[in-house]
């Protein structure tokens, strides 16, 4: 059971809730891999995706998840809507609410925007990435992929490397993975490590090699050029030399370590092509699992709403 009406982040979610979502995603993955992907789980429900930032994976996977489960779905992007005429987030949310949306999936460049929206709408709100804060559905699909490959999360060493400062994916993964008992080791250029990050439960490593050594999972992060203030690292070539994942670095991890990246990847900067396409890379499976996890979330939130309405 998800306790809240909304899914805003993993910081405030319990280990039990996370396990329940991952268990439900297992059933959804089974449905996803069958020949007939149409199920009636969301019949009569409306899902709206409201994206103020670009996206391929997250938006499309929510849209496909809604369609596979027979919901009515619609998409609004900031540039083609009345947001471009100056309408506020709250007014936009209320407008969507009044049209009968059951779930609003929002991506926004400002940290906390989904939390604000959730206070003003009746619909359930799912955070699809807010500024540098959280990207909970990405972390859930990452955890689902690790569970599929490793059978457990507890006791694993998970290296998360790169632009930690700007990464909402890193933050959500640190909250979620540590709750499920993993040891999370982070590394990146000192200018891209936020002060106080160790308070989240992650261990800060001296360098890339220390983080990756004997790791069960190696997760690279995207260099977020759109959020970078100039001067946080000298050049892409320099970044790649010290923090890029290549086969030599990967050889320090356990022999059966898996390689992950949330995508989109800047090929040759965060990872070499050999690492992206490595036999132990699960980057493509992460994309498929994203649909299963989002199906699970939409199902659990709408079922919670139906149960509440019946009480």
* Residue ranges that bind ligand CP, judged by CB under 6 A: 55-58, 129, 138, 262-264
Please give the structure tokens belonging to residue 278.
């490595």
> Among residues 56 and 191, whose Cβ is nearest to ligand CP?
56
Query: Whole-number minimum distance, CB 16 to ligand CP, in Å?
Result: 26
User: What's the rounded Cα separation, in Å, for the pair 150 and 157?
Assistant: 11
Q: Which is nearer to ligand CP, 73 or 205 (CB)?
A: 73
Comparing CB distances to ligand CP, the nearer of 75 and 95 is 75
183 token code pair: 């040891």
Residue 131 beta carbon to ligand CP: minimum distance, rounded to whole angstroms? 13
Residue 19 burial class via C-beta count within 10 angstroms: exposed 0-12, middle 13-18, buried 19 and up = middle
Q: 3-class DSSP state for residue 263?
A: coil
Residue spans of beta strands (DSSP E) within the chain: 46-51, 72-77, 103-108, 124-130, 157-161, 183-187, 203-204, 217-220, 258-260
CB 44 within 8 A of CB 99: no
Q: Which helix (H) or strand (E) holds 136?
A: helix 136-150
- Name the residue nearer to ligand CP (CB basis): 205 or 289: 289
Could you tell me the smallest distance in angstroms from the CB atom of residue 100 to ligand CP? 26
- Please, what is the minimum distance in Å from the beta carbon of residue 180 to ligand CP? 20
Distance CA 286, CA 127 (A): 18
Q: Which is nearer to ligand CP, 21 or 205 (CB)?
A: 21
- Closest contact distance (angstroms) between CB of 148 and ligand CP is 18
Shortest gap between Cβ of 222 and ligand CP (angstroms)? 8
310 exposed, middle or buried (CB, 10 Å; 0-12, 13-18, 19+)?
A: exposed
Which residue number, 181 or 264, has a Cβ lying nearer to ligand CP?
Answer: 264
Q: Report, in Å, the least distance between residue 40 CB and ligand CP.
A: 27
Cβ-based nearer residue to ligand CP, 70 or 75: 75
**Closest C-alpha among 121, 54, 52, 129 to residue 91:** 121
Indicate the pairing of strand 157-161 with strand 217-220. Answer: parallel
Distance of alpha carbon 245 from alpha carbon 237, whole angstroms = 13
């Amino acid at each position: 059971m998800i306790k809240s009406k909304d899914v805003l982040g993993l910081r405030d979610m319990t280990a039990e809730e996370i396990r329940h979502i991952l268990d439900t995603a297992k059933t959804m993955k089974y449905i996803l891999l069958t020949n007939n992907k149409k199920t009636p789980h969301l019949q009569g429900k409306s899902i709206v995706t409201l994206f103020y930032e670009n996206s391929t994976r997250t938006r499309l996977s929510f849209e496909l998840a809604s369609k596979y489960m027979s919901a009515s779905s619609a998409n609004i992007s900031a540039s083609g809507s009345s947001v471009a005429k100056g309408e506020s987030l709250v007014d936009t949310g209320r407008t969507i609410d009044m049209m009968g949306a059951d779930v609003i999936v929002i991506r926004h460049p400002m940290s906390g925007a989904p939390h604000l929206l959730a206070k003003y709408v009746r619909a359930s709100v799912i955070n699809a990435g807010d500024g540098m804060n959280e990207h909970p559905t990405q972390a859930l699909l990452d955890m689902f992929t690790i569970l599929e490959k490793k059978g457990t999360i507890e006791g694993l060493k998970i290296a998360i490397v790169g632009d930690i400062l700007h990464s909402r994916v890193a933050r959500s993964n640190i909250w979620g993975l540590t709750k499920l008992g993993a040891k999370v080791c982070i590394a990146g250029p000192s200018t891209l490590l936020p002060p106080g990050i160790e308070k989240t439960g992650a261990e800060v490593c001296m360098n890339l090699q220390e983080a990756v050594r004997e790791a069960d999972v190696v997760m690279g992060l995207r260099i977020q050029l759109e959020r970078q203030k100039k001067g946080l690292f000298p050049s892409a070539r320099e970044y790649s030399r010290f923090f890029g994942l290549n086969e030599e670095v990967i050889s320090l991890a356990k022999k059966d370590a898996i390689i992950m990246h949330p995508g989109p990847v800047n090929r040759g900067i965060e990872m070499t092509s050999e690492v992206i396409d490595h036999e132990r890379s699960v980057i493509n499976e992460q994309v498929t699992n994203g649909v299963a996890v989002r199906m699970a979330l939409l199902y659990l939130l709408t079922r919670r709403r139906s149960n509440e309405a019946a009480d």
